[in-house]
Structure 1
């Protein structure tokens, strides 16, 4: 039980990204409509569908890696998949943060930083 903190953060990342990816996939049109309006005055305005697809893929990769990382830590104390989950989570969150800052949604950007902190912690712990 040396990796309890890492497992808990990986569970947090798994729940966050799998739920968010699921929401984007199931409610694609609604998300796309809202995001087109959100980014209407930015350089991303003509690239929203592609950006949304990229974020969806990265969120699902991050979430799945977090689940596999938890299992690997529990089964054989392996750290590889958990580390990759943390790295992919950080990349995903940086992309989300970039979008929020571009849209001048500073409250949204601040919220993303709250998820970024534990993601960086898990990268540190598992590297």
Structure 2
């Protein structure tokens, strides 16, 4: 069952996918929120969404809100280049908000495990 990686930067999306694949997960890539919704509509086997926060048109936070409005309750992990603040980390429906830094590999592995175990 794949994890959907959403990132408008192809290199960053591929890096995130590579980290997840190294941890034994199958991944799908989407370059924006609209492509992510299309993937979700076409694939019922997706088990988790990992999204970049800063994307043009529809941000990762807006994607999460849109999915929750559509009664999609898949676990959702947000990645950001910024330091996540407390308000962001407490966004309803968000399982984790991780900074894209040197610890991303280990932090992402722990967040994915926790999100899938809930």
More strand by share: 2
TM-score (norm 2): 0.30
Specify which structure has the bigger relative contact order, considering alpha-carbon pairs within 8 angstroms and separated by 6 or more residues: 1
Larger Rg: 1
TM-score (norm 1): 0.29
More helix by share: 1
